[in-house]
Structure 1
């Protein structure tokens, strides 16, 4: 058997971020989480950092270090999403304060140091929020770029439009300049946009199965998901709401569950109407060289079966 794939999770928890982290923790034969970096996004940095620590302890892995990262986007002011995630970012659960200390140093430096110390092509970066930390790492130390195995991100949208403005998805909208740095860096890049994640529909039946696990992870996870689902109920008028960020980890675990196309993606930095949009050249009309694999479809039943099976392993 091959060794687990080494990943750094860059995150702004967020209930769906929490599920992504837990899915990775439940898959140790496939993924080795060498560290977690927090970034301001769904809620401010102090809270995303605390949330990342608490989720790791919920999953039984307080030994995985959390490094606090960037408190604001590269250029613009911070925009947050308490209207979706609640004031804590993890409303719906009751988690104790973390016992493990924060990692020493800044999240950007942890990304740089980890990549420079490892064999090239052995660490994958999973970004679940705004891409500020990774972009700042690339700017501070460009030598890391060819050493990254792959960047897999949840962010962007095209065919479905946006979820924060009519054109822009939240993670890219919050820091489009960071996304531009990453998308133009020449790194191997896989994007899981809302065109794909909107099809990752969490059902009431699945939530019932999760709670019925009876574990701490199952009960607290179900509470988080039920709170998160309320926003979806209001927005879509349905009881089936997507969990976005776990799709990044699901793709790493079972890429055959997903399909997409290698194409050129650019970030709109200037338009007052479409700023933060990921402009996906799906039909290759510009003839610009592809820079990203854009996922668009997934097998929803198999994805949620995988997630339940892996979450059931956790305490």
Structure 2
């Protein structure tokens, strides 16, 4: 029974016993026929032949997800041959699935972030707007200044206790994931924006007894994260920044990336972000690589200064 016939038998089984859709069967057929074309005797292939084939498709530029799909089809094919007594082993058993690349986080440039903060400050200081709009603008200014200064998760930001604004200190303790406390910095601009917001907050009777810095008439008692995300996109649009480009999480990424670009240590950024594992913070290694390239190009005596 040759490979082509065994592929047909496998596809018949997938259709009859597993109820695989026609599109799925067509996809399986393409993957198996491609493997057979490159390996030769697919049904009798050894592990090394399959490993070489996977290396070949990686070299052809297939994404990690496509490589993983092709390996998955081969695993099912050899599992079928084993169950049918057509093979006594599974040559894919010791093969590792290709690791999927983690997408790089969206970030804003320092110039864009500066424009966003300047716009928030301008709107917060505009006394010509109505009362409700002025309150919202002061709140937004405090939110974005604190977020960019600290890199807090949005859930940590909107639920900040009022006591944070009552102390004029450069650091405060925030409780993050897993109920773990960490110390985060607070810039002078962020403290000033919080004090201005606190002045406006005290004028709203409904907020007087709230223990939250950013109270709201919500189930949690504080500003919902969805409301902040929506208002942030509005601020971005008024700044001339595409709304789709920004979110509270993007500002958190900007905080981390800009620190690294300006010389911060990856371990320090890990602590500031509240990442339990350094591997989570390593999505920013591309920033470090760019910084190291600039360092070498700018300061190494053999660097090409004209490029």
Higher RCO structure (Cα 8 Å, ≥6 apart): 1
Q: TM-score, normalised by structure 2?
A: 0.25
More strand by share: 1
More helix by share: 2
